[in-house]
Structure 1
Amino acid sequence: MPVMTEPKLISGNANRTLAASIARRMSMHRGMNVSLCDARVERFNDQEIFVEVYENVRGEDMYIIQPTSNPANDNLMELMVMADALRRSSAARITAVIPYFGYARQDRRAKARTPISAKLVANLLTEAGIDRVLTLDLHAAQIQGFFDIPVDNLYAAPVFALDVQHHFRGRMGDLMVVSPDVGGVARARELATRIGAPLAIVDKRREKAGEVAEMTVIGDVEGKACIIVDDICDTAGTLVKAAQTLTDSGATEVHAYITHGVLSGPAVERVSKSVMKSLVITDSIQPTDAVKTAPNIRIVPTAPMFTQAILNIWNGTSVSSLFETDTLLPIYEGLYSSL
């Protein structure tokens, strides 16, 4: 294998803002200009996807930055077509940087005669020529096992811990971390442990899919500032109802930290009108104008973490070091330098 001099970045259309941010931070780290690879990713009139790379990538270490968010099928196809173009151009290694991994909620057969689409997507990505996957907060950790190639799953919890410590300075003793359902307890406990806060659970019961019939708070939230933690916020129905339930149970205020702000349909309007004082999301998914202008939605950048992860993969050093808050603090110095 030829010597790989510098990592090369290429972006699809799903989140070019994040890709450009990663390129800028990498320029700072490397002390040289690192720009996105010159390429065109476009559609023919019948919506077929076409990719043309204008730079020589033979023997290069390539990183495709492309979340498979809405429209999930188009963005997934873009990712695979870009991988095929790079593989056929003799790239030495192709890493898919997928900040938001679509289809992750279809990770098991909950009923008879249903697919395990997350496994199918893993097979498609591998067959397209991808050698490694870098992602953030997979909906289910076992999805890593669906791949026969290395998968590095980063976590938002260390960054969220920094954000909580910054914004709730002097009030840490009043905090209560809340899981919006029993299935998310491990994720909520992770943040609770990092910030030294107790944990509560909102138990939800559904009469039918998509409708929450009843919510019960497990734990004493009286007089507490509650922080709801989850990985995905889609239509925000469950999140808004959980916030109201916590308020009715005596919580003084409710905030939410959600990794992936899918925020489809009426989600932004629901969040804006809810009792939640703030919803904090990452930029793993390109935020819409409505999300950017919502008064109680705030976006935490992921570019510092992804940039460092890419550099660690390129250098052959540990990615798991980024699981620790102390490791992330220096690379988020502009946001949380006063901690």
Structure 2
Amino acid sequence: MPTSSEPKLIAGNANPTLARAIARRMSMHRGVSVGLVDARVERFNDQEIFVEVYENVRGEDMFVIQPTSNPANDNLMELLIMADALRRSSAARITAVIPYFGYARQDRRTKARTPITAKLIANMIVESGIERVLTMDLHAAQIQGFFDIPVDNLYASPVFALDIRNAFRGRMDDLMVVSPDVGGVGRARELAQRIGVPLSIVDKRREKAGEVAEMTVIGEVAGKTCLIVDDICDTAGTLCKAADTLMQAGATEVHAYITHGVLSGPAVERIGNSSMKSLVVTDSIEPAGPVRACPNIRIVPTAPMFAQAILNIWNGTSVSSLFDPKALGPIYEGLYEDA
């Protein structure tokens, strides 16, 4: 059993801003100070990663906050090495809080002689001594089955629903949720049902990997304010082309709600020059300077949800209760008044 009366958090270098925000929210919930465990995570000259934990963690319930975003390999190794350091320091339980799970797009063999890297990463996480994973919007639900340990997968859609009701107050009847491809229909449908609006689909066909040859809108979007919903935006090529296609089909405005803003390469420039009025992403990945500076990109916080999920895991209570807007609403009180 833990020797402390509070859960203990430790963070790598992937998203320290989110880690500190989670600690602040937990302090508010608990009424006591919850800080990050004092540790150093640094690199030798040859880029080997070294971790040293300065506080006693024997018998503690540890939560390692570390998305495996770009640079994915470095951040993944930080997570594994931190877990090993905690296990060898006799931590009672180690939970990996991975807001963005890298390599999730490699969840199946798409052609001959290719890997299923998401399964390999799951094996590495389990072997490092991690006993539970807390993540958000896995790219493919079956990745939970790649692990031989419990995996709690949170969803951004309840937070997006709160934001949409606040941002589009008085205009809800004009909204339509759009899936940018057939594979994301389930995610888009779930959000559409939450906010009570219709659903449309953009069907895309690829000539070759990375190139979209043709897009067709399935559904009547003329006169609608369209909300494109997806889990990952990388280079934003497909997203911006989908927005153009919707505008050509008669949509009055196009906005996008994306869980994980990878936003690599020309993504920010494309979004800034696109026909989209706004792109909303979560802070599961640390936003770079150009992302924060882009006037039509907005960031919604996930710290309130992750803080409550960590407390629920620590207390042994339900994490799935956070899927209910009645439970999530009070957690975001003050951010979305009367939404």
Category of TM-score, reference length = shorter chain: over 0.9
Q: Which residue of 1 aligns with 2:239?
A: 239
What is the rounded CA distance, in whole Å, between the counterparts of 2:112 and 2:73 in structure 1?
24
Moved more, 27-36 or 125-134: 27-36
Q: Which residue of 1 aligns with 2:108?
A: 108
Q: Which residue of 1 aligns with 2:22?
A: 22
Counting matched residue pairs gives 339
Q: Which residue of 2 aligns with 1:75?
A: 75
What is the rounded CA distance, in whole Å, between the counterparts of 1:289 and 1:128 in structure 2?
33
Aligned-partner residue type, residue 233 of structure 2: C
What is the rounded CA distance, in whole Å, between the counterparts of 1:253 and 1:273 in structure 2?
15
Moved more, 323-332 or 213-222: 323-332
Q: Is residue 322 from structure 1 mapped to residue 322 from structure 2 by the alignment?
A: yes
Aligned-partner residue type, residue 100 of structure 1: Y
Say if 2:2 and 2:61, in contact at 8 Å, map to a contact too: no
Per-residue deviation at 1:2?
Answer: 4.9
What is the rounded CA distance, in whole Å, between the counterparts of 2:44 and 2:259 in structure 1?
34
What is the rounded CA distance, in whole Å, between the counterparts of 1:144 and 1:48 in structure 2?
30
Aligned-partner residue type, residue 108 of structure 1: R
Q: Is residue 132 from structure 1 mapped to residue 132 from structure 2 by the alignment?
A: yes
What is the rounded CA distance, in whole Å, between the counterparts of 2:238 and 2:212 in structure 1?
7
Q: Which residue of 2 aligns with 1:88?
A: 88
Q: Is residue 261 from structure 1 mapped to residue 269 from structure 2 by the alignment?
A: no
1:1-339 equivalent positions in 2, closer than 5 A: 1-2=1-2, 5-339=5-339
Distance 1:58 1:110, change over 3 A: same
- Which runs of 5 or more structure 1 residues have no equivalent in the other structure? none
What is the rounded CA distance, in whole Å, between the counterparts of 2:297 and 2:257 in structure 1?
10
Aligned-partner residue type, residue 19 of structure 1: A
Say if 2:243 and 2:276, in contact at 8 Å, map to a contact too: yes
Offset from partner CA, 1:152-187 (integer Å, 9 cap, x none): 000000000000000111110000100000000000
Say if 2:126 and 2:149, in contact at 8 Å, map to a contact too: yes
What is the rounded CA distance, in whole Å, between the counterparts of 2:5 and 2:91 in structure 1?
13
- Which runs of 5 or more structure 2 residues have no equivalent in the other structure? none
What is the rounded CA distance, in whole Å, between the counterparts of 1:260 and 1:214 in structure 2?
25
What is the rounded CA distance, in whole Å, between the counterparts of 2:278 and 2:328 in structure 1?
23
Say if 2:188 and 2:199, in contact at 8 Å, map to a contact too: yes
Offset from partner CA, 1:93-137 (integer Å, 9 cap, x none): 000000000000000001010000000000000000000000000
CA RMSD of aligned residues (A): 0.7
Aligned-partner residue type, residue 20 of structure 2: A
Per-residue deviation at 1:29?
Answer: 1.1
Say if 2:181 and 2:203, in contact at 8 Å, map to a contact too: yes
% same residue: 81
Q: Secondary structure at the match of 1:221?
A: coil
